[in-house]
Structure formats: C-alpha cells, structure tokens
Structure 1
Amino acid sequence: MNNKKHRAFLKWAGGKYSLTEQINQRLPAGKRLVEPFVGACSVFLNSDFDEYLLNDINADLIAMYNIIKRRPLGFIADAKRYFQPQYNTEQSYYQIRAEFNQSTDPYQRSLLFLYMNRHGYNGLCRYNQSGGFNVPFGRYKKPYFPEKELLFFAEKAKKAKFVCKPYQKLFQYLRNDDVLYCDPPYVPLSVSASFTGYAKEGFSLDDQANLARLARESKCAVLLSNHDTTLTQELYRDAVCDKIQVSRTISSNASNRNSVGEIFALFKAIDTNKN
C-alpha cells in the first residue's frame, strides 16, 4: 500500500483519519480486518488487508456503502445534483431533511444522507427517539462534494463486505486469521455531565464492559481505542495498553482544542492449541 492517506467521503464525529498511522502500527498481521463500529471507514481506507468485514448499527450508513459499492458512478452523478447553490439554503435543507425522514427508499435515503452529512451542522449524524434525522442546517459557504473520495472508496469496497448488526454478532463470525479493530462510542470524560445523553445513543457502560469481555475471550487479536479513563484502564486491564495524547475539539468552538488522553488496548489472540 502506498503512503498516501485517503480521507473518508463523510464528515464524522470521532473519525480516525488523524490516527490511522498509530492504529496501523498496533494492528497485528491477519488476512481479514473486522470492524464492528466502522463509522466513516477511515481505518478501512488506510489499511492493507486482503479482506474486510465492516459493520455499523446505523442502517442508513451501511445501505449507502453497499449502494456505492454496487453502482458508484450512478450514485455520484445523482448525488452531485444536490451540491448546487440552490440546495445550500436553510429552506432547502429542512425540506430535504423532511423528505429523508419520510422516505423508505434506500437509494433516495442514501443520496440525501450524503447531502445532509455535508450540509448539516458539523457533519453530525443524530436521530431523535422516533428515528428521525434531526441535525440542524450547517451554514457552510460551499459544501464540498467528495467525488474523488467516493471513487476511491468504491474501488477499495470490492474487498469489503458491509453488514448492519449489533456489535456482539460480529464476534460470532470470526475466523482464525481475522484481526478486529473496535472503535466504539467512547466512554464520557465526565460521567455526571454526559452519561444521560450518551446512554440514549444505545451504547451504555454495560456495553463497554461487554465489549471488553468479548475482546478478552476472542480467539482473534482485538485492538480497541477509547478515552483514557479510570474505567477503561480497569476494563482493559488484561490487554497490552498504551496511551497517546490527541488534540480534540471538546466544545462547539473549534478554537477550543484540548489535549485528551486516548488508550489503545490490544487483546492478543487466544492460542486454541494449548491444552
């Protein structure tokens, strides 16, 4: 694989583009990379495995990835129409968001999902309790249409299978030559400040503990990333852990960048040949 880095075509909170070198340095060798929390696919796009099994619980995301894999040129042509100036207004955005929330057609939803990702606030992906996308208008001067990123994704997607399942299910499909990279929703840095909203996203502290248990018991090597907290240090105590400092925006003001501790935990493959 050449050293050119490839950006995801989506804007994504918690995306791993800036950390792909550190992640690749820590991923063991294997034939297939399995990602239970694939998100915007930065690790997939910047790693070199023979095969990929890529999962996310967001059905809109996985449907779009499968559509782009099957018919990239048609998708690009249709999606580009939404990146004309007349669609970059508050009125158009909220009309399209309402259309997305009422649509049951996977192809149409995929086109609008990309539009909202690039025109919505901060590239957020958020749904209300009823399943409606509810990110507000972003007010960008000229949203970027990621054509070259889409083309690269579609080419590399030939090596990948995209699925939409609960993260636990992925551990049932593992082969001996698999390597897992788990990038779950991070534990909150302040439990008192953010746990309520965090739990509503569907990944609780019980899930954090369950994921650590699955990683510990896996027959394959598992690399996890998370915030470096007392909780994660305890959950990953049986793993080989190392820590880095990451610059991260932790408020709506992009100038407020603080250094945050990040932990990488490697659970080595269990040797099934041992008695």
Structure 2
Amino acid sequence: MIDKNIKTDIRSPLKWPGGKKRVLKHIRAMLPSKGKKRLVEPFVGGGSVFLNLDFEEYLLCDTNKDLVALFNAVKHSPLSFKKDAQHLFNQKNNTADKYYELRQRFNDNTDSYERAILFLYLNRHGYNGLCRYNKSGGYNVPFGRYKKPYFPSDEIDFLANKLQRAEVISGDFTLAFEQLTSGDVVYCDPPYSPINRTSNFTAYSGAMFSDEDQERLVESSINAQHKGVATVISNHYVAFTKKLYASADQRSLFSVQRSISQNGKAREKVKEVLALYDAK
C-alpha cells in the first residue's frame, strides 16, 4: 500500500529522458492504493516512480536489456557494482577520446555485468542523459562534455535496498501484464505519442512504439480490469490520445515543462494525461 508520508524526492542513479519525478504528485493522486500489495511497471525506465512509492513488492519490466541488467546487478551485487562503476568516474575518463573508447568497449561487450557498469558510465557522461541505439543495436549517444559527472553513490544504495522487494524482467510490456494477480496495481509510462506526428519521439531502446502499440497497451489495460487490476497510463494529451483513452474510467490533465526539440534547448509547457482503467 502506498504510504502517504513516504519521502518523495528519491532520485534514480540514471539520468532518464521523460522521467516522472516532477509529476509524481499527479501519479500518486490517480494510482489506486487501498489493498494493493504490488506495483507493476511494464515500462520502468529510470525507476523514479517505483523508487518513490512504497509497496510490499514490485514487478519491473523494460525492453531495454542494458537497463534491466543494471538493475539486476545493483540488486544482486550492490557493493561490487558500486565499486566497479565508481572506478570509471575520474577525470582521466572524462574526455571525448576516452568516452568513445569506452562506448566502443560497451558495444563490443556481451557480458551483462560489464555492460551494466559501462551503461552507468555512458549514461552519466553522455549528452543530455539520452539513451539511444542505432539500427544495429549499437549505443550511439555522443559525449556530453560535463565538467565533473556525478557519481550516484547514495542513489545506488537506495536502489539496491528497494530492489530487494522487486523482480526485474526484460521484454515487451505484455510480459508484465501476463503476470498480473489480484492485489496488483499497474503504472505504465510508455514512449509518448508525439506532439508533432512527423517527429520521431516514439523511438524507444532502438525500436519504435507505434500507434498500434499504444492501442495494444489500452487493450491490455482493459483486459486487466477483468482480473481485478487497475492500470494508470501516462502520455501526451493530443488528438490521438484523447480518442485513445475515451473509454478510461478517469482522466487527469495537467501541464509539464518538457523539451520539445531534439536539441534539448527548446522547452515549454505541454499537456499530459493520466488515464485510469479501474478494476472491475
């Protein structure tokens, strides 16, 4: 059950585009809590939501295998992970040449633990906290040129503690929905439907999240209602999602300041929606 008094300013160890830290108050207000034991997140991303909500258990899912590997490394080997990752955070490694050398090492590596360590380094040293892969699956975010990238020691400790109550899996969001049981509540933060229909903001972990995928998510949420499970979905509020969530039991609209250009410099208020498909 959600503890209304729990501290709600916990940061993820990862910088993550579209993180929900600034809109947690809206999510908390919408997300059912009474009698709910497990929070299920089919699109866990950086983890800001589950880190700031108190449930007995968590099921966390994401298509990004490197993200899942990092979470599992922190869960099972927190001390080793922190020591090995911190070793990369020094001025010698904070140069463009070294960044691209380590990025290539990451792309050439097949060991999930080694990739997890390098993933944190790349996330903190890469441009604007982006997570982007090319069509061949290669990580291709450019060097960020930060004066002194922050090593998230306390954030890793908190994440490691929270993950002891979590199962973390990699796959399509339907994998999480297939594992729902009575007592669960679902929060979905899918790749957002674009404000501009010609934009490419739905790119997610090297894949596209299409209108048909958005529709599949609503279908899964409706099916979950009949299992006694409530689902809340976040998205941009545009013509497509207004129609898409027309059957939701409740909708909440609010404005959020977000980047609306690929260079990350143009920021303005955009409308977002939370759609609730309540348990039947």
TM-score by length of 2: 0.92
- Aligned: 1:86 with 2:92: yes
Quote how far apart the aligned CAs of 1:200 are. Answer: 6.5
Contact kept in structure 2, 1:8 and 1:40, CA below 8 Å: yes
* 8 Å contact kept, 1:35–1:54: yes
Give, as a single letter, the amino acid of the residue that structure 2 aligns with 1:5: D
TM-superposed CA distance for 1:199, in Å, is 11
Question: Structure 2, unaligned stretches of length 5 or more?
Answer: none
Q: Which runs of 5+ in 1 are unaligned?
A: 271-275
Q: Aligned residue for 2:243?
A: 234
- Within a 5 Å distance, the mapping from 1:34-45 to structure 2 comes to 34-45=40-51
Please tell me whether residue 222 in structure 1 is matched to residue 231 in structure 2: yes
Matches within 5 A, 1:160-175: 160-175=166-181
* Residue 250 (1) aligns with residue 260 (2): yes
**1:188–1:198 contact (8 Å) kept in structure 2:** no
Question: What's the secondary structure of 1:193's corresponding residue?
Answer: coil
Change (3 A) 1:199 1:51: closer
Match of 1:26 among 26, 30, 36: 30
TM-score (norm 1): 0.94
User: In 2, distance between residues paired with 1:200 and 1:134?
Assistant: 10
Give a deviation string over 1:108-142, Cα, whole Å, max 9, x none: 11110000000000111111111110000000010
How far did residue 250 of structure 1 move? Answer: 1.7
C-alpha distance in 2 between matches for 1:253 and 1:229: 22
CA distance in 1 between counterparts of 2:179 and 2:194 reads 29
TM-aligned CA deviation for residue 214 of structure 1: 1.2
Contact 1:35-1:181 at 8 Å conserved across structures:
yes
Aligned match of 1:67 in 73, 82, 99? 73
The residue that corresponds to 2:136 in the other structure is 130
Q: 4+ residue stretches of structure 1 with deviation over 4 A?
A: 195-200, 252-255
Q: Distance in 2 between matches of 1:37 and 1:217?
A: 18
User: Aligned partners of 2:247 and 2:205: how far apart in 1?
Assistant: 26
- CA shift for structure 1 position 198: 7.4
How many pairs are equivalent? Answer: 270
Q: Tell me the alpha carbon deviations over residues 66-111 of structure 1, each in whole angstroms, 9 at most, x when there is no partner.
A: 0110111111111111110000000000000000000111111111
2:12 maps to a residue whose letter is A
Q: Secondary structure at the match of 1:194?
A: coil
Give, as a single letter, the amino acid of the residue that structure 2 aligns with 1:12: W
Distance 1:59 1:93, change over 3 A: same
Residues 198 and 204 of structure 1 are in contact (CA less than 8 Å); yes or no, is this contact kept in structure 2?
no
Cα distance in 1 for partners of 2:84, 2:165 equals 24
Check 1:247–1:125 CA distance in 2 against 1; reply closer, same or farther (3 A cut): same
SS at match of 1:211: helix
1:249/1:163 CA distance change after superposition, 3 Å = same
Q: Which amino acid aligns with 1:223?
A: V
Q: 2-side partners of 1:254 and 1:193: how far apart?
A: 14
Distance change >3 Å, CA 198–CA 42, structure 1 → 2: closer
Does residue 263 in structure 1 map to residue 273 in structure 2? Answer: yes
SS in 1 for 2:150: coil
1:109 match = 115
In 2, the alpha carbon distance for the partners of 1:123 and 1:195 equals: 15
Residue in structure 2 matching 1:119, options 125, 136, 145: 125
1:182-229 C-alpha deviation (Å, 9 max, x unpaired)? 000000001123379679733111000111111122121000000001
* Higher fraction of helix: 1
Encode CA deviations 1:52-77: one digit per residue, 9 max, x unaligned. 00000001110110011011111111
Q: State the match for 2:12 in structure 1.
A: 8
SS of 1:175's equivalent in the other structure is: coil
Distance apart, 1:176 and its partner CA? 1.2
Change (3 A) 1:76 1:97: same
Alignment pair present for 1:142 and 2:148: yes
- 1:83 match: secondary structure: coil
The 2-side partners of 1:32 and 1:199 are apart by: 26
SS in structure 1 of the partner of residue 232 of structure 2: strand
User: Is the contact between residue 216 and residue 238 of structure 1 (CA under 8 Å) also seen in structure 2?
Assistant: no
